[in-house]
Structure 1
Amino acid sequence: MSATPDHAFLEHALAVAQRAADAAQAVIAPRWHAQDFSVVTKADATPVTEADREAEAAIKRVLHDAFPRHAYYGEEEGREGEGDFLWLIDPIDGTKAFVRGYPMFSTQIALMHRGELMLGVSAAPEYGERAWATRGGGAFLRGRDGATRAIRVAETAEFGPATAISTGNLKSLAASPSRWAAYADLVRRVGRIRGYGDFLHYHLLARGAIDLVIESDLNILDIAPLVVIVREAGGVFTDLDGADIGLDTRSALAGVPALHAQALAAFNP
């Protein structure tokens, strides 16, 4: 079995992941600006385009060149290979936004080692942001101005008028009377409820602009790099039961430490 990745390895892997995100952008941008693609509905009722498939292939070419013995798990092509290192790839997270012509989509690339998430890149070039992090190395964001800065979650201690919560899909949560009631109580206690969705509310959380994110219907490829980014920015990221994030994760509760703890207790009395 391979040793725990050290700082030098993670920095190298991060540089490769950044190049892979660039390769995806080179595929995605022309398609999006020209709206040049057809849309097919997959078995899970979600859309997929040529850009999704072409971007995933471009990402994997870059990663394969650097790490031919690693395993890969992509949104479009599934699992490939076995080993301690597993790359998690969602070439276009937010395909519905991509299809409808608004810029709330991103490329998500993460590296997992023996089930532990070690690094992540969340690239949303049409929105104008890219965030990244390595375990123990901090979280960073490059914005529209091209400047890179370290990011940190807010220091919010209590739910109140200044608190902001963002939600994603809540279908499963809404099916649980006790959890829906707990969510309603949080809504009554805060100043703002938003639904930024996909990559954006995790970027906002990591840079201190909102305080809590709640989602009850997702998969690991939607959030893998964002988990590392939020944690390295000082946030807490679990599922709604308080469990660690893994390949079978289906929900997310991410936030500043104090509010995450309070929300977790509310959802699991």
Structure 2
Amino acid sequence: MSQQPTAEFLDSALEVARQAARAAAEIINAYYRGQFEVITKADASPVTRADVESEQAIRKVLLAAYPDHAIYGEEEGHHGSGDWLWLVDPIDGTKSFVRGYPMFSTQIALMHRGELVLGVSSAPAVGELAWARKGGGAYLDGVPIRVEAAQPLEISAISFGNLKTLAAAPGWQTLAGFVRRASRTRGYGDYYHYHLLARGGIDLVIESDVNILDIAALAVIVREAGGVFSDLDGAELSLATTTVLAGNADLHAEARSAFAGWRGATP
């Protein structure tokens, strides 16, 4: 019989995911700012031994606890099938890791029949760990966190990540309007602006070029902190998701309406 996503099961799986993140952190921190070879993958992104070895460590922990679960990892791909799928990016932000600044993280999420049900986001270089499971609230270093209460865009802070696709689309002018109206704009990127959003440090995050492995765990954390997390079209996340719109409910709704049709007409 297939396991069910009960609170008890998810609490147990969350602890396993935290153990996996800690195992990865030991490897990553041993390499960070040291000497290591950097290989360029087919998509022009870098990969190091730290990426490969930390994903192997994560897979070892997860499969020891759940040998029947499938895993989709950034470095070793998708293995297994069934109702449960672990999504793993051992070092999200490898370019930052390679260049010696701490804007990188380990992302581990669990999906049940297409629904994201738990996530762990570990930033080993700064010792920051966030986690959440469906219905259990969100935590940063063991402390409960919540998104900031709704407030007008004019007194809100927006952070942007990768925007290459949006920059080439009609929605770029919509973004310009948000920039003009917002109180503050930042470009924290990677895991950091999602941690800030979940703990009430900023109010809206917009990205147009991501991979589901980059954001799956962060989506669970933001949602359990009281935020709304979708793609730029307002759609639910899937393995094919490449954009993000995340924030408190009011700002998310305003932005979702403003960005409707942001790509323009399809040729």
**1:119-162 CA deviation, whole Å, 9 max, x = no partner?**
000000212311000000000001xxxxx2100000133110x3
CA distance in 2, matches of 1:138, 1:7: 12
Q: Is the 8 A contact 2:28 2:124 kept in 1?
A: no
Give the CA deviation at 1:3. 5.5
Q: Which residue matches 1:212?
A: 204
**One-letter amino acid of the counterpart of residue 164, structure 2:** K
Q: Percent identity among equivalent residues?
A: 63
TM-score by length of 1: 0.95
Give the CA deviation at 1:84. 0.4
**1:26 lines up with 2:5 in the alignment:** no
**1:248 lines up with 2:240 in the alignment:** yes
Matches within 5 A, 1:52-63: 52-63=51-62
The SS at the match of 1:10 is helix
**One-letter amino acid of the counterpart of residue 166, structure 1:** S
**1:166-198 CA deviation, whole Å, 9 max, x = no partner?**
001101111112x11110000000111111010
Q: Which residue matches 2:173?
A: 181
The SS at the match of 2:153 is coil
TM-score by length of 2: 0.96
1:152 corresponds, among 142, 146, 159, to 146
Matches within 5 A, 1:84-99: 84-99=83-98
CA distance in 1, matches of 2:8, 2:46: 38
Matches within 5 A, 1:1-269: 2=2, 4-33=4-33, 35-142=34-141, 148-160=142-154, 162-177=155-170, 179-268=171-260
CA distance in 2, matches of 1:127, 1:194: 20
**One-letter amino acid of the counterpart of residue 132, structure 2:** A
RMSD after superposition: 1.0
**One-letter amino acid of the counterpart of residue 175, structure 1:** A
Q: Which residue matches 1:145?
A: none
Tell me how many residue pairs correspond in the alignment.
261
Tell me which stretches of 4 or more aligned residues in structure 1 moved more than 4 Å: none
> Structure 1 stretches of 5 or more lacking a match?
143-147
Q: Is the 8 A contact 2:147 2:227 kept in 1?
A: yes
